Amino acid sequence: MTTKNLSIKDDSFGNGIEQKLSVRIASTTFEIAVLDTSRSTIVAFESWRFDNNDDPGNFADSLEKIRSDSFSLGRHYNKANVIIDSAVYTLIPAELFKEEEAEKYIEFNHSLASKEAVHFDSIESIAVKNVYQVPLSVEKVCRQWFTDLKFQNTCTILINSRLKIKSTPETVFVYFSGNRFDVIVADNGRLKFCNSFTFSSAQDIIYYILNVYQKLGMDTSATPIMLAGEITKESSGYETIYRYIRNVSFAQRPDNIQLCEALKEMPEQMYFDLFSNF
């Protein structure tokens, strides 16, 4: 079962202009953004919530329901980017990576389910491969929908976005998605830390974050933290983080992407990976 949360489109959507599609699939949500390449502007956005998310391997029916309910998926796109938002990934140095061993790399840290396909992304700037799982049902449906398709794991996008920033002080970057958050620390183009954590309370969040500070020898009064994704100033997680770390900011959308007028009120930190994937 799926529930549609948001459906917004600009008057220019579908006017024959070249448009690119970015899709984000998580265990609880499905989101679509459409970019007008001539203006570098998001002209359509849709989101759904999966009501029953116990088995991501059986997403096929939910995805077909979304397709029939979507105004944007019925159009033809030259290229589609599909983001798999999952904590089931493993980073491997490129010099040690062998494609035929990809399943084994996943099994170092995770259980590989029979209904999962193994994919990998290249993070060229630091010579690393990100090996991750994609539900077979998701892979099959997406390949039926799109002729030119590129899968990426959320952490690949987040890491790349942080590695591009080389002139700012060392910052702890935290991306929230459902009951999980990813922590990335990069300094002058070097990845120092990347890991994912699940939580059930604000106390869980600050426990893991303070652990990262301690592990990396960072001072909570000196090293800032930047938040992105499903978190706002009204969140209990934000209030708890701010109690311990006073230099807190929210991530901004990529400078090269604009939002159409109908989306202007969307908080900057929301859907960071989706908008960073164009």
Task: Find out whether 161 and 226 touch, Cβ atoms under 8 Å.
Answer: no
Domains of the chain, start order:
166-250 (3.30.420.260)
Q: Cα 223–227–233 angle (5° rounding)?
A: 110
Element (H, E) at 243: helix 236-244
Task: Find out whether 173 and 150 touch, Cβ atoms under 8 Å.
Answer: no
Nearest to 20 by CA among 3, 30, 8, 32: 32
pLDDT, residue 275, reads 94
pLDDT, residue 52, reads 61
CB half-sphere exposure, 116, CA atoms < 13 A:
20
- Tell me the C-alpha distance between 251 and 170, whole Å: 14
pTM of the shown model: 0.93
Q: Is the torsion defined by CA of 261, 23, 110, 126 positive or negative?
A: negative
Q: Cα 29–83–41 angle (5° rounding)?
A: 90
- Per-residue pLDDT 10s for the chain (278 aa) are 789 999 999 988 877 677 899 999 998 899 999 999 989 999 999 999 987 654 555 677 889 899 999 999 988 887 899 999 999 999 999 999 999 999 999 988 887 766 789 999 999 999 999 999 999 989 999 999 998 899 999 999 999 999 988 767 789 999 999 999 999 999 888 899 999 999 999 999 999 999 999 999 999 999 999 999 999 999 999 999 999 998 999 999 998 899 999 999 999 999 999 999 88
Dihedral angle, C-alpha 157, 160, 162, 164, nearest 10 °: -140
- Tell me the C-alpha distance between 278 and 276, whole Å: 6
